[in-house]
Amino acid sequence: MTVDYASLPVANSWYSVDSYPGDITRLREIHIDPYWAGSVWLVQGTERDLVVDSGTGIVPLAPLIAEMTPRPVLAVALCSNFDHSCGFYSFDERACHPLEAEALTHPKLRDLSDYLGVENRLLAVPRAGFRLEDYELPGAAPTQLLEDGDIIDLGDRKFEVLHIPGRTPGSLALWEAATGYLFGGETLFIDPDKRDFPPQDTADYEASLKRLGELPVTTVFGGHYSSFSADSLAQLISNEIGRYE
């Protein structure tokens, strides 16, 4: 069923902000069921900060981030799926894999409204009169392209870019070897309801998962929900390999 917007409350605030160890903060769109809106991770460095994914963007994210840090920010889209990347436009510095650039530059409102405009996904509206059908979805070309092996330098910490195709052709993960932290976006999250979510390319997806499974991970920061342990990552990979063949 489509959403009856008139029945939804108008939200006072849109994002929750939660601190994690390692100078990491999670922002979440609290009026969207967490399965349908990706987590946003803010990572502090000494020279600049990193924003990993950017949510649906129906409430601009960059102004809130600007209140949270005095440093310049690089926003990375780990994939171009709507629940992770439609907030990309609000940032000045934007990076993604070349294979996701077109989708980020020209996102389709119809896809966002079809995805989110279903009963019980959107639990409040961000402003009175808001309807996804009328929303002007801004696109934004990346200002920087990322390839496998590139390093994102925040000053005191460095993240290696991993190209992990499967969920989407240009899906990325970010790996901090010094801490064992892994940001996996849409590729790595634990759905408490274990719903089926077939990747765009199963063979690529499984190869990417195997690659990620060989890293000496301490903590995964998931594309949805929270962070999880290396043991949970191993379980997730084992559950997913062979699931969609």
Of 176, 186, 206, 240, which lies in the binding site for Zn ion, with binding defined by CB under 5 A? 186
In the numeric block, the tokens 């999880």 are attached to 228
Kindly state whether residue 83 participates in binding Zn ion, applying the rule CB under 5 A: yes
Q: Which residue is nearest to Zn ion (CB)?
A: 83
**Which two three-digit tokens encode residue 99?**
């294979």
Q: In angstroms, what is the minimal distance from the CB of 197 to Zn ion?
A: 8
Q: In angstroms, what is the minimal distance from the CB of 82 to Zn ion?
A: 8
Q: How far apart are CA 50 and CA 105, in angstroms?
A: 20
DSSP-derived 3-state class of residue 229: strand
Write the interaction track for Zn ion spanning residues 12-41; mark x where CB under 5 A is met and - where it is not: --------------------------x---
- Phi then psi for residue 227, to 5 deg, are -90, 165
Residues between 94 and 153 with contacts to Zn ion, criterion CB under 5 A: none
Q: In angstroms, what is the minimal distance from the CB of 191 to Zn ion?
A: 10
| Smaller CB separation from Zn ion, 5 or 35 | 35
| Smaller CB separation from Zn ion, 82 or 91 | 82
Question: Exposed, middle or buried, 81 (CB in 10 Å: 0-12/13-18/19+)?
Answer: buried
Q: At a CB cut-off of 8 Å and minimum separation 6, what does 243 contact?
A: 196
Per CB under 5 A, residues contacting Zn ion are 38, 83, 186
